[in-house]
Structure 1
């Protein structure tokens, strides 16, 4: 079956999301991609994809075929890059990241990555939903916690820890707590999970019941409340790192409330050599993490 260009057209169309998007990237017409995919379906005697309201939708047979063939094409493209004179990583890397970690740590460093690897293009999806890298076609994910998916390789790059902090204005008005016990007299900005205020559980095991008139269902919202001087917040270190350096938030009781924290890792499909573009992403952000994320003791 002489279908190399048809296979490429199918994979590029799925990655782009539609024949029109793939055609724009390739500088050709949507009908050219559509005809190649139709030819491939005829050769395989099976329907691979249908046009939906939001672009191409893979059939079950198409999904299985795509997962197999895109890896093979990636390997071929990588082999061509390695055999060429230029070893500059290039191409698209699709990244999934948990919301707070992606917004507060990953995205501020994308411009630095772009300067080092201008030929690598990124698509970043931020969500606290645990995506399936293979079925949702992501190359790499930035995750907090331990992964039990045996299909994935994990590279731990740091620790996820919380710190207590408040604005200088709040501390001038209410005083600075010198012990965990003194926190009882302070306004505690509470994380709202559903319709419940989440208590603070400190490394010692001590539980501080939610107390105060302000709560929010996201860390960025809690950060804004803290910056306005409305109370003490318990937030991820990477979320308030810039505020602490600027002096707009002051860390509190660091020694008494220091956590071991959960591992932060870059995960990617195992079982084959990483494409140079994905390796470039993993290596760059692992290096960044050593300078900017808490590391294991």
Structure 2
């Protein structure tokens, strides 16, 4: 015998005070409740309820069963509510991001994320080294550039463009380049990748090798150098956005624009995403719509997830 429907009818009848009242609450007939309770009594071999002048009355056995089953149903309802609450975004999300992109784009948006999801905690690791998400137990990585890792899914956010910039003081002293080719005659601040300096990629397909006296392996360092008027730098728009808005840096020869590098959120594939991770992905994908250049319309690979 399936005891749950009969036990539930028994509880509802006792709480309502009569089969008729219980039936009205449940939208069924009094006989349906009466029959289920009768089957329960037959199964247990004891009388549970008596019909009195004031409605249903519990026998001693019925009283004991009611108290025990009532607590049991409360525990079941509480367990169901706990599971339901567990599907709401809550808990810790561990995030890895490249130093510059994390500092300039991710970190400034965390306060808004916290207001939208107050029960989700974030641990953000900013590093330019390669991070193995699975080995280091990260939930999400903010990646710049293409990557091919069969263990990961990706959600494309947009593209990060770079532009040539200089301080107003430098431009007054050295002149304003009108074409990309004129950059060759300026002091060039280089980005160091190990012991090598990144070449400047021109929209025409050409390259300029920045061999100036100053270089840094960090965009924040280059930003300080270009602010100080020491030369021209090729920096991400995200890095210089506030300076351009304030007028402390000028963007040079904007057209045609740099196509930029793709920015994606990467996460381990083959897992059912926890609500907290899904909340992070959805929030920052929406943020990207208004703050990053859109991705190119190329078809996604089979492992990409938009």
Supply the distance in 2 between the matched residues of 1:273 and 1:191 (Cα, whole angstroms).
40
In the TM superposition, residue 253 of structure 1 has moved relative to its aligned partner by: 0.8
Taking a change above 3 Å as real, the CA distance of residues 205 and 85 of structure 1, as seen in their structure-2 partners, is closer
Q: Residues of 2 paired with 1:81 and 1:141: CA distance?
A: 32
Q: Is residue 176 from structure 1 mapped to residue 176 from structure 2 by the alignment?
A: yes
Other structure's SS at 2:143 match: strand
Residue by residue over 1:165-199, the C-alpha shift from the partner in whole angstroms, topping out at 9 and shown as x without a partner, is 11111112222111112212211111223334333
Alpha-carbon spacing, 1:81–1:117, altered in 2? closer, same or farther (3 Å): farther
Alignment of 1:191-210 (within 5 A): 191-210=191-210
Structure index of larger Rg: 2
Q: TM-score, normalised by structure 1?
A: 0.68
Q: Normalising to structure 2: TM-score of the pair?
A: 0.66
Count of aligned residue pairs for this structure pair? 218
**Partner SS for 1:235:** strand
CA deviation after TM superposition for structure 1 residue 227, in Å: 0.7
CA distance in 2: counterparts of 1:283 and 1:103, whole angstroms: 20
1:192-219 Cα offsets, whole Å, 9 max, x none, are 2333433312132211132422211211
Query: Equivalent residues in 2 for 1:42-53 (5 A)?
Result: none
Contact 2:152–2:268 (CA under 8 A) maintained in structure 1:
yes
Aligned-residue Cα RMSD (Å) equals: 2.0
Which sections of structure 2, spanning at least 5 residues, go unmatched? 1-78, 297-306
1:65-104 equivalence runs, <5 A:
83-84=83-84, 88-104=88-104
**SS of residue paired to 1:109:** helix
CA offsets, 1:242-285, max 9 Å, x none?
211222111111113x2222211001112232111111111111
| Structure 1 residue 138 corresponds to structure 2 residue 138 | yes
Q: Does 1:186 align with 2:186?
A: yes
Kindly provide the CA deviation profile for residues 72-100 of structure 1, in whole angstroms up to 9, marking residues without a partner as x.
xxxxxxx9788426864110000111111
Match of 2:34 in 1: none
Residue of structure 1 in register with 2:286 after alignment: 287
SS at match of 2:255: helix
Correspondence for 2:239:
239
| 1:91-129 alpha-carbon deviations (Å, 9 max, x no partner) | 000011111111111111111111111110001111122
Match of 2:119?
119
The answer to whether the 8 Å contact 2:157/2:295 transfers is no
CA contact (8 A) 2:180 2:202 kept: no
- Which residue is 2:248 aligned to? 248
SS across alignment from 1:241: helix
